[in-house]
Chains A and B, each alone.
Chain A
Amino acid sequence: PHFIIELPEKNDSLCFNINNRPGTIFNLVRDPKSGILVNGQVIGEKKISPNGEVKTYFWRFGIVHKTLGVRLEVSTKDISVFQDGKWVKLLWSDTASVKGPNVDLLVTKDRSLTVTLKDSVKFVILLHKVWEKHPYHRDYLGFYTLDRHLLSNSVHGLLGQFYHGIEYEVTNLRPGAVPEKPDATMYVKGHELNVTRGWQRDFRRDVKNGENVPCWFIHYNGTGLIDGDATDYIVSGLF
């Protein structure tokens, strides 16, 4: 999956990929104070693509709000919500809206799920549907944070650590391996990194084609940009 940190105030974005074996579960957001947890599990292509690269995508997210007693499991197949002591299942094939005391859900048929957890966080999960008979690809999900301002200062995770903002400086722009993607030096979190100007796609407005977001790409699973190592974010279960 590709991660994008859009920083409109700087008129800039940062991006990195995290790849690991299919089946791995990563922690994306963890806020011990408000009891919020977002974990995601990756899946690989149906078979190894001709170039030998193993690409992975998120196909399942587990979301917990301990304080509100809410649990959500969202996969490419369906959406399950646990609240008030019972599980409710929603289908991607329906357009549905559920308003509860602690959580609001809005499913747009075969396209997106918007989740608002009371007084804490709002996000949208996009469903990317792929032709069923595609030889390599399969359905996958995207996770976009819409509002995180009520989360605490202790929020962390692969995405959560950036909710505090990120300071960096980029300099020494120079030709890169590909003419349209120059390299540069980035100073961030005390590291000096070699980064590449490129772009990644934001699918919120156009789920099929996406929109290009120019960004500084941080190589090697975001090493130097993320706290610690990508493997530090691996967790054993979805919840």
Chain B
Amino acid sequence: STNEAKVEVYSMTVDSTVTSRFAHTVMTSKALNKANSSQEIFFEVELPKTAFITNFSMVIEGQVYVGEVKEKEKAKKQYEKAVSSGQTAGLVKASGRTMEKFSVSVNIAAKSNVTFILTYEELLQRKFGKYEIQTRVKPKLPVQDFHIVTNIYEPQGIAFVDAHANFLSNELLPLVEKTVTDKKAHISFSPTIEQQRKCPGCDATQIDGDFIIKYDVNRAETLGDIQIVNGYFVHFFAPPDLPRVPKNVVFVIDRSGSMSGRKMEQTREALLSILKELHEEDYFALIQFDSEIDSWKESLTKATKENVDEAMVFVNRISARGVTNINDAVLRGVNMLLTDRQQKRLHERSVDMIILLTDGMPNSGVSAPHLIQENVRSAIGGKMSLFCLGFGDYVDYSFLDVMSKENKGLARRIYEASDATLQLQGFYEEVSSPLLSEVDLRYPDNAVDFLTTNHFAQLFNGSEIVVAGRLKDEQLDNFMVEVFGQGLEDDFKVQGQASPQDWNVMYPDDEYIFGDFTERLWAYLTIQQLLEKSKSGAPDEKANATAKALDMSLLYSFVTPLTSMVVTKPETEDGTDSPLIADKLTEEQRQQADRLGTTVSHSYRAQALYPQPSYFVDGD
């Protein structure tokens, strides 16, 4: 972006290479300062929240300034030094639900060029049976040389590819080129400067929004797909044609005062539509709570049409009042499931789950988050999954996140917006179709080590389990793989051999794809899992996980919440230089930014400690 027309962005390229779900994206922008004086040029891009920046560099007058990933504390010192001398540094901002914004500015001399290059990597997650590559482009003016290019390499074979953008007009639509062969897809979008214009001769551009590619791979093997490349392996497991397992689900719904109005309305709407989606063999229960806890029935009920109709009447009557007792409400749900199990009211091979929907901090009954987590963990005792939906900007997300993960579940933020009903339904759809439970992926100890998590509480329909590891012997030709799980009727058990594929045979025309992707995929997954581990568990385990995640972030040059990327800006006229910094936000920092509607400038902001509460009486 530029302040004046005297700076021209003449080239913008987004180049993504996806190899076995691991996406490596390079965004390059080139600008020219046409003015007779120096100007500040801004580089502002958005990247997916799930991505880690791996490099940021600038080329000014032929000189390359390369970023370096440093431990956050060390980068902080450099940053503070710059700030104390009145200079600015880079900023990372939360930006909507799926993206985060990275922006820096640099002062460019008269008649000079600057090139910004940002690289980021992510492991694409399969949801609802597809992977999604999202690229956000927002050039302020039409750009002479504009390209979005994506190459997908999937050794399993590509089932389908779909590319669209929310800015595509009828004229631009034919410009999306898509070539799909068995194991490779090429998608490109390169409108000319004239085609980018909103109207002939005008300066405004119609290129503004998200370019989204969705695809899936073929799934023939029950064992899944195992790829071995350069001493590392990755195992993708999502077998086809598995019957769904019936579920027993207890909905625990917050109806405290702060839910009143739109949130309560959207919760009712979502619940009504979720109830309609229940399969007849499922069992369900409804518990609503404020400081008091009321359940629709005292035990789970089969989801027959009559029962669902009756439940819908109950849902329609849920209205907001009072304060929030999460502890007792969740425990009521847990006890209901445990009792029904004990009394054999539920299908033996079925999955038990609690879905908690809440918008706020617990403030009635047991209200200390760590005590609730402890109570819930000990009551559940590994016997069921807890999924948490945190509604709105004021929810203590990390509390719900930890509580879910400690109980074989996951948490999701629901943003207060007109589509909150759809967000709620979407999350439910994601977790409501378990295909297998207690999935164990086993590899021989003498062949592999440094495994990522290989036990999963569930495999959901439309998702995928990914495990990666390192081969002890790089020359290994093959090793045995076994997968165990609990399915609808029988135990799921499958075994087979993993052997390396010859990438030169698969992709003879592509000289180089990016050879260390399996190792980087393994590193990415390991770091993500260590970061998760660093949030819960014993203090020494947390510290250990944090230390390991930091080491690996530095080793593989990933900007994670523990590291920063520092690029030293060229000297300014006063002879000083100042660092540009790229950071990664945590979900809590994003939430804080959403709530305040402001920028979160890394974690270097002084954390204000809460003063003591104060109670007083006075007069005017």
Contacts and interface: CB of A to CB of B under 8 A. Distances in A.
B611 A190 contact: no
B529 to A, nearest CB: 32
B320 interface: yes
Contacts of A170: 257-258
B291 A144 contact: no
Interface string A112-136: 0000000000000010100000000
Contacts of A187: 256-258, 290, 321-323
B617 A2 contact: yes
Contacts of B616: 3-4, 6, 142-145, 159, 202
A27 B320 CA distance: 35
Contacts of B321: 187, 192
Contacts of B171: none
B489 interface: no
A44 B261 CA distance: 43
A185 B620 contact: no
Contacts of A4: 614-618
A6 B616 CA distance: 8
A159 B364 contact: no
B617 A28 contact: yes
Contacts of B612: 8, 147
A167 B258 CA distance: 12
Nearest to A149: B612
A148 B615 contact: yes
A142 B615 contact: no
A40 interface: yes
Interface in B603-620: 610-620
Contacts of A1: 617-619
Nearest to A162: B615
B360 interface: yes
B324 interface: yes
Interface string B254-289: 001111110000000000000000000000000000
Contacts of B453: none
Contacts of B615: 3-6, 144-145, 148, 159, 162-163
A58 B257 CA distance: 35
Contact of A169 (B257, B367, B617): B257
A185 B363 contact: no
A143 to B, nearest CB: 5
Interface string B359-399: 01001100100000000000000000000000000000000
Interface in A152-204: 158-159, 162-163, 165, 167-172, 185-188, 190, 192, 200-203
A56 to B, nearest CB: 8
Interface string B317-344: 0001111100000000000000000000
Given A9-B613, A167-B367, A171-B261, A140 B323 contact: no
A18 B302 CA distance: 55
Contacts of A201: 618, 620
B620 A9 contact: no
A143 B257 contact: no
A142 B618 CA distance: 4
A7 interface: yes
Contacts of A142: 616-619
A216 interface: no
A57 interface: yes
Interface in A1-56: 1-9, 28, 40, 55
A187 B260 CA distance: 11
Contacts of B364: 167
A190 B291 contact: yes
Nearest to B261: A172
Contact of A128 (B291, B363, B619): B619
Contacts of B363: 167-169
Contacts of A192: 257, 321
Nearest to B362: A167
Interface string B230-263: 0000000000000000000000000011111100
A8 B611 contact: yes
Contact of B617 (A3, A171, A185): A3
Q: Which one of A2, A9, A171, A210 has the greatest number of beta carbons of chain B within 10 Å?
A: A171
Nearest to A11: B610
A144 B617 CA distance: 6
A136 B617 CA distance: 21
A9 B258 contact: no
A202 B367 CA distance: 30
24 contacts: A1-B617, A1-B619, A2-B620, A3-B615, A3-B616, A3-B617, A4-B615, A6-B613, A7-B613, A8-B611, A8-B612, A8-B614, A58-B619, A128-B619, A140-B619, A144-B615, A146-B614, A169-B256, A169-B360, A169-B363, A187-B257, A192-B257, A202-B616, A203-B618
Given A7-B613, A8-B612, 10 more contacts: A5-B613, A57-B619, A142-B618, A143-B617, A158-B617, A167-B363, A169-B256, A169-B360, A172-B261, A203-B618
Interface of B: 256-261, 290-291, 320-324, 360, 363-364, 367, 610-620
Q: Which 8 A-B pairs have CB atoms at the shortest separation, nearest pair first? A: A187-B257, A142-B618, A167-B363, A169-B257, A144-B616, A57-B619, A169-B258, A6-B614
